[in-house]
Structure formats: C-alpha cells, structure tokens
C-alpha cells in the first residue's frame, strides 16, 4: 500500500519540494514504472541502468536507451513532466474535478487546447484494465443526461442553436450501482448506449457485473434473459407501482442525479457525444474512490494507471489535426 509522504506527496508544499525540476519528475516516474528495479524493455535483463541524460536510461547489456514514460500517456508530449504531475495533482485534489479552462489557468499554460488535450489523455488513464466487476445486489437502469427533463419514451424536440446541449439531450447512459446493506452504495459502472434495447443493455451488464449477482431492474424487456446469462433478477414493475422511480431504484436515481449535476456544473454541459465516454470514465473513477482517505493516494493511483496506458496523440483525441502537444 502506497504511503503518504513516501510514495506520494502529502501536501502541495511537499509536491513543490519533490518535483523541483524535470530530472526529479523523471526519477519519480522511473520509481513507479520500475519499483522493483530497472528491467530493460528490450532484452528483459534486470540490472541497474546507466543514466545518459536527465530522463534517459541505458541498458548495460544491450545498450538500449529508454525513458520511463515511453509507451505511456506521458510519452511523445511537449508538456513538461512537471506540468503533467501538477495537472494530476490538481485534478485529483479537486473534489469535483476540473475543466480545461481551470487547468489552463492554474498551470499557466499558453494554450487552451493543450490543457484540454491533457485532461483527455488523463481521462483515458482513469479506467484500470482488468478491474473487478460489480457484485452482490446491483441496480441497473438507463438514464437520460442533459439539460432537458425529457422522460423516457417522450418525444425529444430537435435542438436549435447550441450544439453541445442538443447532443447531451439525446444521450442515454446505462447505470449500474452496487447496493450495500443496511445502506449506502458501493461501486458504479456507466456506459453511453444508443438505445434501451437488450442489444445495448445486456452487453453492459455482462461487461460490468459478476455472474451470480442479484440484479434489480424495472420491468423492461431488455433484461428478459438475465437469468439465462447466469444472473438473478429482482424486477420492480413501474407501471401502476405507487412508488416513484427514486424510491424503488434509489441507487440509479442518485447516481444519475450526481452525474447530471457534474456534467452541467464542472463541465457546463459542453461535451460532445464522442467524448462523453471519457467523462463517464472520470466520473466513475472519482465516484469509486470517493472514500479514499487521502487525495494523495488518488494522485498516485492516477499516475500509476497513466504509466500503464498507451500514448494518445492529439489526432487520436480529435480524430483530425496532427498538432503535437
Ligand atoms: Zn537491454
């Protein structure tokens, strides 16, 4: 278990102290990547490497040169490591997260695009590969996110003028949340889905929830074959049920409300549909670690995951311009 003050800074003061320059940042990231000692990425030999520059190491055996950030989110970037670490610190220390403008200001970055792309790269690192599926009692439902209060099945007026809001209004998010006894919520999973059919919802359930779990849903036809797929189902039929949705499915209702507030608050709803998945990942990362005692631990975890996440170029993110960050 990583320890505050040893594996990650305890305070911003300590952050400034530890990460005084690029060399110090590189050594810190080397310590995370090779915490049991250097292993050459080419020949696999475990032996102390020579340092040939502030961030470049040389394998004693095959003479291969590498950096700790090669092949990670921090690779191939013009942004200094110090700014990257400061960005991670800032993102994980703000309870509600941060938008690109906020990050640009706090880091003093010249370009909004740089701040925006840094946030997107870090969002891609927020989902840990191989994470454990949800289990126990899990509520599953779909929710509309967006500014309007469109109810399920209601006709949605085509939006005019503002693109982003229009897009969010049409977006359906699948929500799964663990329900704890006697009370409280466990972890969540979210996914943008194109509709509320079985073809959309069943893969979400199978990817997110351990077989054998008890799944609480409404009466929707989309969940008809849960038992065939190894799940137990508890069904609450809404039609004619005197309880409104927030009483019979309190978990999903609560998560959807928090998610909407976050999208419209921190991000002012200015999110394109192609990027919504990454915002859902960030929300999930934050929610599932909401009880983490130390914000510093969150900082450590996000860096750890970023070191395991493939590099992303600006054109990967925007699907267009070759602009290098
Ligand atoms: Zn080697």
Q: Give 50-61 as a 3 state SS string.
A: EECCCCCEECCC
**Cα–ligand 1 centroid distance for 66 (angstroms):** 10
CA distance 63 to 191: 45
Tell me, what's the pLDDT at 325?
46
pLDDT for position 80: 94
What are the CB-based long-range contacts (under 8 Å, 24+) for 287-292? Answer: 287/187, 287/188, 287/255, 287/258, 288/187, 288/188
d(CA 189, CA 48): 41
d(CA 67, ligand 1 centre) in Å: 13
What angle (nearest 5°) sits at the alpha carbon of residue 272, between those of residues 314 and 193? 110
Going from the Cα of 42 to the center of ligand 1, the distance in angstroms, rounded, reads: 5
How many C-beta atoms surround the C-beta of residue 62 within 10 A?
12
Ranges of beta strands (E only) in the chain are: 50-51, 57-58, 65-66, 137-145, 171-179, 185-193, 214-218, 232-236
> 113 C-alpha vs ligand 1 centroid, how far in Å?
37
What is the CA(77)–ligand 1 centre distance, in A?
Answer: 24
Under-70 pLDDT residues of the chain: 129-130, 146-169, 238-246, 292-293, 319-325
d(CA 40, CA 60): 9
| Model pLDDT, residue 263 | 87
pLDDT at 207: 94
Give the pLDDT score at 78. 87
How far apart are the two ends of the chain, measured CA to CA in Å?
34
Residue 152's pLDDT is: 40
Query: Is the full-model pTM beyond 0.85?
Result: no
- CA torsion through residues 297, 303, 306, 307, sign: negative
């Amino acid at each position: 278990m990583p320890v505050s003050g040893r594996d990650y800074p305890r305070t911003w003061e300590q952050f400034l102290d530890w990460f005084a320059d690029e060399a110090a940042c590189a050594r810190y990231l080397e310590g995370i990547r090779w915490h049991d000692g250097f292993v050459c990425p080419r020949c696999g030999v475990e032996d102390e490497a020579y340092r040939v520059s502030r961030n470049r190491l040389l394998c004693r055996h095959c003479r291969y040169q590498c950096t700790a950030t090669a092949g990670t989110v921090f690779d191939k970037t013009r942004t200094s490591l110090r700014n990257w670490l400061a960005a991670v610190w800032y993102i994980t220390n703000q309870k509600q997260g941060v938008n690109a403008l906020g990050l640009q200001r706090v880091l003093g970055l010249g370009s909004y695009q740089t701040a925006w792309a840094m946030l997107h790269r870090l969002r891609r690192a927020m989902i840990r590969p191989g994470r454990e599926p949800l289990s126990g009692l899990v509520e599953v439902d779909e929710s509309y996110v967006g500014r309007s209060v469109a109810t399920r099945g209601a006709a949605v007026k085509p939006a005019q003028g503002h693109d982003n809001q229009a897009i969010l209004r049409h977006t359906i998010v699948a929500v799964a949340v663990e329900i704890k006894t006697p009370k409280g919520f466990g972890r969540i999973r979210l996914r943008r889905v194109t509709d509320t059919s079985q073809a959309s919802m069943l893969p979400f359930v199978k990817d997110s929830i351990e077989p054998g779990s008890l799944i609480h849903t409404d009466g929707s036809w989309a969940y008809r074959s849960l038992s065939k797929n190894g799940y137990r189902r508890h069904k609450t039929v809404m039609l004619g049920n005197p309880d409104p949705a927030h009483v019979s499915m309190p978990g999903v209702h609560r998560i959807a409300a928090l998610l909407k507030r976050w999208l419209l608050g921190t991000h002012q709803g200015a999110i394109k549909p192609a990027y919504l998945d990454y915002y859902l990942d960030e929300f999930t990362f934050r929610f599932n670690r909401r009880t983490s005692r130390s914000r510093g631990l969150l900082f450590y975890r996000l860096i750890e995951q970023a070191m395991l996440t493939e590099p992303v170029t600006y054109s990967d993110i925007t699907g267009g311009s070759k602009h290098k960050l």
